[in-house]
Amino acid sequence: MKIIFAGTPQVAVPTLQALVDSPHEVVAVITRSAKPKGRGKTLIPSEVGAWATEHGLNVLEADSLRGEEIQSKVASLNADLGVVVAYGAIIPQHVLDMPKHGWVNLHFSDLPRWRGAAPVQRAIEAGDQTTAVNIFQLEAGLDTGPVFFSRQVAIDEQVNAGDLLASLAESGAPDVVSVVDAITAGTAAATPQVEDGVTYAHMLSKADLALDFMKSARVLHNQVRACAPTPAAFTELPDGKRLKVLRTQVAADCPVALQPGQVHATKKQVWVGTADGVLELLAVAPAGKNQMEAAAWARGARLEENMILGAVEGA
């Protein structure tokens, strides 16, 4: 099977590697273009682009597949199948029709729940206890195509979005190869998605990052997990500086009663009051500094007694 692979971030690399290691032939890798980074604005290729170049693959950089030049290149490949993992742009119907068997996509949710760009983050934010590895046929609608393969995965109540996404990417890679094998053999069968339970996983925005301690401890804990390790949820200190909150847990108890946003710290623990209980801060990153244990931050910051974090809405 001659395959075109389209992907950009690190989570797409395991599937690309699995396809390269399989009997199938990866005839080209489409990835988004290199971006300037650092003070020198050095062009840095995507993680997929870097891996593909290192392994001698044919790399096509394109931020969109709507241009005539990239469409001509894709058509000239005469591929049997396209495989997509987090490419980052919509593939036009004309391009979807180019490979003999169309395109399949590896998606990290239990479709039709959490169609869209941030399924792992939104599942954690919502407090979902399970998600899934899904491989489906791409079509014009947003993640609406029939499903070839689905496997449920439990979501640990402490796992963050970055770690869960990495785990799903690794475990889903061999599943993609199995689906490609079945398509090659003519034994693949896809099941149409139901329309009941459709939800959309929009990309995280700045509004999703600020912690409001008038919310429940569980909701805040899930928000922190959904935003970690990046872009990271945050709160504001009394001096206006931001404090990124990277790891928390819902506290079973606290030595003192706390109002929403009020902080209590000992040498080993840091608690913040919420609408219905207490959230324990485990790891934070002060402005301009790396991640550290919350207790270490509190010791160094010499927190004022009864300090209030954040602009507490409704207070």
- pLDDT digit string (tens) for 174-216? 999 999 999 999 999 999 999 899 999 999 999 999 999 999 9
Token reading at 74: 């894709």
Q: Does the pLDDT of residue 312 top 60, yes or no? A: no
Query: How many residues in total does the chain contain?
Result: 315
CB atoms inside a 10 Å sphere around CB 61: 14
Report the amino acid identity of residue 283: A
Strand partners, 262: 308
The angle formed by the CA atoms of residues 50, 132 and 146, to the nearest 5 degrees, is: 90
In this prediction, residues 23-49 reach a mean pLDDT of: 92
Which residue matches tokens 């690399």? 13
Domain with CATH 3.10.25.10 in the chain: 206-301
Least confident of 33-47, 63-77, 156-170: 33-47
Please tell me the pTM assigned to this model: 0.94
Homologous superfamily assigned to 206-301: Formyl transferase, C-terminal domain (3.10.25.10)
Residue 68 DSSP class: H
How far is it, in rounded angstroms, from Cα 217 to Cα 248? 10
CATH class, range 2-201: alpha beta
Interior angle at CA 281, CA 278 and CA 284, nearest 5: 155
Report which of residues 278 and 38 the model is more confident about: 278
Residue 77 labeled ligand binder: no
Task: Give Cα separations from 291 to 32, 45, 152, 247, 285 (angstroms).
Answer: 30, 26, 32, 10, 4
Side-chain-side CA neighbours of residue 296 (13 Å):
10
Reported confidence tier of residue 39, pLDDT bands at 50, 70, 90: confident
Omega within 30 of 0 (cis) for the link into 231: yes
* Residue 167, C-beta contacts closer than 8 angstroms, at least 6 positions apart: 153, 159
Rg of the chain (C-alpha set) = 23
216 is in an annotated binding site: no
pLDDT tens digits, residue range 73-109? Answer: 999 999 999 999 999 999 999 999 999 999 999 999 9
pLDDT at 41 over 90: no
63 with 113: CB under 8 angstroms? no
Q: Considering all CA atoms of the chain, what is the largest pairwise distance in Å, rounded to the nearest integer?
A: 69
What is the spatial distance between Cα 51 and Cα 260, in angstroms, rounded to a whole number? Answer: 47
Determine the straight-line distance between the first and last CA of the chain, rounded to whole angstroms: 61
Each residue of 110-119: pLDDT tens digit? 999 999 999 9
Residues of the chain with CATH 3.40.50.170: 2-201
On the question of pLDDT at 311 being above 70, the answer is: no
Q: What pLDDT is attached to residue 93?
A: 96
With CA atoms as reference, report the closest residue to 259 among 236, 240, 276, 234. 276
The CA distance from 90 to 112, in Å, is 18
Confirm or deny that 45 is annotated as ligand binding.
Answer: no
